[in-house]
Amino acid sequence: MNKTIGELGITDKDSLSELEKSAQIRHLIKVRSGIYHKAAAEPSWVKDYKPKRNSVIPDSLWFYNNWDFNVLSTIFEQLTKTSIYKAFYNDIAIPLQMQDYRIMDGEYYYELEYSIHPAYHMKMSARDLARYGQLFLQNGLWKK
């Protein structure tokens, strides 16, 4: 959680500044990295509100940021040497007895003109989402 983007060797198309490289995994999880690099699958409204790059220190401001989410998945795959889709299948779909989710329902969505980090999209049925919702309602405990 305390490893920095710089320590992990994370970079992007237009590189990252030393300030941006100081963001930690924990900051990405909280969407408080302070990294406002253009991201794959970024909603169009974001550009009107996103702070300028290098204007915010890590952990000082929450701002919805696809870059943080995308890079977290890249880091997950880098550190675990497994795809996020396979991990979701093994660690969530199987234990929750999801009936429809398949590893192939995950899709890497690249917009290389913006970022080397893809968005990690997943297709999921309503009944499988309901199981995930039930897990949330039970505070993360599946078999009570």
Reported as a single tens digit per residue, the pLDDT across 86-114 is: 999 999 999 999 999 999 999 999 999 99
Structural domain range at position 121: 18-137
Structural domain contains residue 35: yes
Structural domain contains residue 132: yes
| Half-sphere exposure in the Cβ direction for 25 (13 Å, CA) | 13
Structural domain contains residue 41: yes
For the chain, how many structural domains are there in total? 1
pLDDT reported for residue 16: 96
Structural domain contains residue 129: yes
pLDDT reported for residue 105: 95
Structural domain contains residue 6: no
Structural domain contains residue 81: yes
Q: CA distances (Å), 111 to each of 25, 49, 67, 86, 137, in order?
A: 23, 21, 12, 22, 35
3-state secondary structure of 41: coil
Structural domain contains residue 3: no
Q: Where are the beta strands (DSSP E) in 5-61?
A: none
Reported as a single tens digit per residue, the pLDDT across 3-16 is: 999 999 999 998 99
Buried b (16+ CB within 10 A) or exposed e, 32-65: bbbbbbbbbbbeeebeeebeebeebebeeeeeeb
Structural domain contains residue 4: no
For residue 130, the domain's CATH number is: 3.40.710.10
Reported as a single tens digit per residue, the pLDDT across 53-96 is: 999 999 999 998 899 999 999 999 999 999 999 999 999 999 99
